[in-house]
Structure formats: structure tokens, C-alpha cells
A and B are shown apart, each in its own frame.
Chain A
Amino acid sequence: MATDARGLTTEPAVRVRNLHRSFNSDGGVLNGLDLDIAPGEFVALIGRSGTGKSTLLRALAGLDRDVAGHGRIQVPESVSVVFQDSRLLPWKRVLDNVVFGLRGAGAADRGRKALAEVGLAGRERAWPYQLSGGEQQRASLARSLVREPQLLLADEPFGALDALTRIRMHALLRRLCETHRPAVLLVTHDVDEAIVLADRVILLDAGVVDTDVRVELTNRSRSDAGFAELRSLLLDRLGVAADA
């Protein structure tokens, strides 16, 4: 159980117990995974390919109805997913994509505000194909955040972006999360990205939590000694020798 600022015990936003998932009879992708995420907590999920990162995320998103397995999952009422591709509907203009499925009056205004927040003010009437890759991903972030989710699930959202755009997106995501305070589960294969963004880094191996570390850095710069230490710890656990 996590505790909030007043020292009271709070319900976790996400609680996973004994989660098993397998795609074939040979062996599971997730093998009895336990995980708690506190409200407002930013968790990065790393691990080698095939260790079950995406499987876990899809389980939390409720998108794995055809996958065999068992276990208990508890997630908040309002969950948003950011995919690796922006998944903007090509036949809707950017603003219509952002407010897609939103009900109630003022949806368009909220959408416009969300677009401004991600730096896309003025592009409301553009078609998705007219946006660059980074802009498309920002629009998809706006679409997620306009719903004020209690849990934001992001599956390698910056994986297809170039290095410079990624850096800008890191700052943007960090700022947006500080404003909206959703619990976040970010799947990434990039250890640096995990440390830069997250409050807590979880490393999956063979379908269970292998390492679970809190990022307590005052300065999240790569030159920070703590950063390097954490980085080499995680790379070591991933079986990659960090060069000195």
C-alpha cells in the first residue's frame, strides 16, 4: 500500500496479482506477475524483447480478450492508451480525432485546449497525414489527456520518433503528467528514457518483476552520478554490459 502526502494509506490505482498470460502451450509470457501503481505515480516498464511488457500493458488496457491466462487485475475507471503509432483516424481532422468519443457540451473547447497544451494550437483543422510523426504523436497524447485519465498506458509511444523529437516529447510528457497527475505505465526499451521520465522503473524478466527501483534523482541529467549508477544497474540486469 502506498501512502499519500498526509501519511494515509491509499488504494493503489493499479493492482495486479498473480497474472498469467500465454500465447501457446510452451510457456507463459507472464508468469504470476504482481504489481501496484499508486495514483499519480509514473512507472516505466523495461525489459528485453518478449519478456511480456506489451502483454502486461494490453492486459491492463483490456485488449487481450483472446489471450489465455488468469490472475486479478484492478484498474481505475478511466484509462487511456497511447500506442506506438498515433492511431489518428485518417478521415477525421485533428481536433475531431482529439475529441473522438467525448460526450457533453464543451468537448470541442476541451479538445482545443488539449491541442494547445501539446503545442498544436492552430492545427485543429489539419488532416492527420498533414502532420509530421512527432505532431501526430502529440495529437494522440492530447486525445489521451483530454479524457483526464486516472491511468495512462503508453506502449513505446516515442519508439518511432527521431532522437531530437523524442527529447522534446520527454519534456512534454513529463510536464503534462505533472499537470494532470494520472498514474502512468510507460513501456519502453530505452533505459535512459525510463530514468528520465519515471518515478519508478520496473524491469520485467521471464514474465515476472525482476527489478523494481525508485528513481530518486534531484537532477535527471545524464551527467548526474546517480543517473549513471542507476543506468548501469538496469543495463546489467538486462544483460548488457554498460561501458564505463
Chain B
Amino acid sequence: MAGGASPVLLLVGLAVAGLALVPLGYVIATTAELGRQEAVDFLWRPRIGELLWNTVRLLVAGVAASTVLGVAGAWIVERTDVPGRGWWHGVLCAPLAVPAFVNGYGWVSTTHAVQSFPGAVMVVTLSYYPLVYLPTVAALRRLDPGVEEVATSLGRSGWGVFTRVTLPAVSPAVLGGALLVGLHLLAEYGALQLLNYPTLTTAILQQYATVFNGPEATLLALVLVTFCLLLLGIELLLRGRRRRARVGSGASGHPLRIQLGRLKLPVLAALTGVALWALAVPLGALVRWLLRGTSATVDVGELSAATATTLGLALAGGVTATVIAVPVVWLAVRHRGLLTTAIERSVYTASAMPGIVIALALVTVSIRVVPTLYQTVVVLLLGYAILFLPRAVVSVRSTFELVPPGLEDVARNLGCTGPAVARRVTLPLVLPGLTAATALVGLAVATELTATLLLAPLGTNTLATQFWSDASAIAYGAAAPYGLALVVLSIPSTWLLGSLSLRSGT
């Protein structure tokens, strides 16, 4: 079953899987506890219909718009002769460094027109299209241009090549990106709250503020989780079973670039437009409020306290998630088997759980089962760990797979015991990967808002929660320094993702 893994390691792996399954278990268990009639009465009413309609149309329009923008951007950067491609790649990745709730603040503090359905779609699209753009750029770069060249030589037009050859070839990447956008939209709280656009997630937060973790919030969470699982299912269906594998990797590298010709100026104008709307508006708003806000007398003490708390939590959260990821990956890579694969998969279920559901689950479980942990940093860190474990596992796994098991065998033959092999051979080799995983999770923790709002012990203020308490009270000036700090903190991971997406070709 588990390829000869030590029982201790297996137990640890199972414990991690159990932790990752807490949110799903909580939703199912508390829903089962509810009387059926009670649940139906709550869910079957106009308010829920309104929330569902808002959520669904935002989901459809936001995913569609992000996909179009992301794919178009990637195609322009990778397949046309647009001038300054490297620069535009940077610009198109950059909105990732502006957390969606900071973007929402930038827009709403500039114009009220965004407090509408089209406004909400626009703001979330500008925030989340890079999630489609990045994998699509990487896939385009990896794609053997020979295939496209053959289609061209067989007489397809540029558009024909794109729709019949290029797009199908990169569709898994596009779909994967679109799925991520969908999951983020379902989980989004801050931006939509500022845009006054109620969805399931904002309603859960309101329920929480009104009746704490009552059954109503759980029912809404159930609906939300159902949506996430539906999205996953749709993505699997769409991906289908079409064969994309080929023998030999082909030659990636220098594709024929389409001459834009007369279209060069309109394309450049469009790219500039995206840069202005996705970057200049929110950053401009931050700077403007910083300079003029009446409430902007920056309290340096509070700002630095929040920064210190944020960095501390980021480091601790990153280390926790990475440390928890190691046994899972170790089992999956070194002791492949049904059980270990199941453990690894269960970790991924959390990637479909919105932060709000994870937070609600931990609030309830900690109050009921381990009340001494409630309102402590421990619960917050567990929340971060569940939320970002999928990320940590992915990046830890990619480094573990590069360590040849032969090295470990040699060490064992030379008389090292199992734990000593891990300590003296494997860990030093994977340390850079672990550091990267810690950094990635840490940076995500640093800008996390929704789960932090529920799980941070009272009195623990992070940059995100401080920004939120000011921005949601229209103290735009007071929020500005925190918003700026959040952007600065997001730059490293954005830069890392941007450069990784280009490197994957070689």
C-alpha cells in the first residue's frame, strides 16, 4: 500500500491529510446536523437567489474576460513582432502584485461607477487575468513552433493557425488558468465588498459578523464549496482525453512571429490601456491618497507593528506549510502507493476551498474540540497551512523529484540509518526548494485577508487587516500606506512567477 514507509512517517502523512480535509468535513458534518426543513427554508428564498445570480454571472463574465485578456496578451507577447516584448511581459504580469482588494480600493476611491456589475467584472478581470496569462505564455513558449509552421505552409491564415492549432495545443494551460480565476472569484471578498457587489462569500462574512458561526453561514459555505467542486468537474470534462503527447520533445524556441504591420499601433494602444487600467489606476490612487488624505497622518508605530506582525506570520506560515508538505511529498515520491497518493490528493482538495470556508471550519472546530487553541496564533497558522499547502506541496515536490534515489541508497550502504540519510543527504539537496516553497507561501500569507479577518487573535493586526479596517470605513488616506506596503510585499513573488513562466521553455 505505501511502499515500505515507516509507520511514523505514514501517521504524520495521515495527520496532514486529516488536517487538509477538516474544511470539507466540517461543511458536510454541520450540514448533516441541520434539520432538513431548516436548511431548505434558509436556502429557498429570494436573497439566496440574488446571491447565486450575482455569483454566477460574475463567475462567467469574469472568467471569460480574464481568459480573453490573458490569452490575447500571451499570444501578442509570444507570437507577434510587437516591440518591447520583454517589457510587455513584465507589465502584463505586474497586476499580480496588486492584491485584488487593493485594486478594488484604487478604483472605488477614484470613481463610484465601478460599484456595479460591469465595474465588478472589470476590476476582478484586471486583477486575475495574469492567472491565465502566465500559464499560457509558458505553454506557448514550450510549444514546438514547427506544428504552427506546418499549418501555415498548408495554407492556413494567421487566425486559422491560432484557432485550429495553437489554441488547442495550449488549451490545458488556458483551462488551468481559467479554473484558477474561477476559484479566486468564488473566494474573493475584499474587492467585491468594496465594490458593493454582494456574492456568496461576502454574504458569509456578513452572516459571521451578525450571528457568528451560525448554521446560516455554514449553509452558504456549502453552496460555495459545491460551486468550487463544480468548477473542478467542468475543468476535468473540458480537458477531456484528447492525446497531446508526442514522441520526442520537438524543438521549442524561435517561432515565426506574425508581422503586426498596420495593427502595431492599435495593439500597442491596447497593451498600454491594460497597463493603465490594471496598474496606473490603483497605484495612482494609493499615491494620491498618501499625498493628500486627511486621515493620512501615517502612524509609523502602527505601520511598523503591522509590518512586523505580517512578516512574522508570513515566515511562520511559510515554514509551517513547508514543514507539513515535506512528509506528504516524501511519501508520494519515495513510497508511491495507493495510500500515499490518496494522502497527496487530499491535500489538493484545499485548493478548491475558499479561505472563508477554511476559516469558518477552524473557528468551529477549535471552539468545539480544542477551545484552548481558539483565538491563538496556532489556529491562524493552521489556517494558512491548509490554505497554501497545495502550493507548498507543488514546489517541494518538484525539488524532491530531482534528487536521485541512488544517492540515498549509497548512503544507506555506507551505514547511515534512515533518519540520518534524510538529514545528511536528502535535506541538504532539497533545501533550496524548501526555501523557495517557504518564500512563496510566506508571500501569499502576507497579503491574505479573508481567513486572517476571522482567525487572527483579537488585537493581532496585519497589513491586510489594517488596510481593510481603514479602506472599508472610507478612510482612504489612512489605508494608503498599508496598501502600498502590501504591493511592495507582493512584488517578489510576482517577479518570480513572471520569470519562471519564461524559463519553462528551456
Question: A and B: partners?
Answer: no
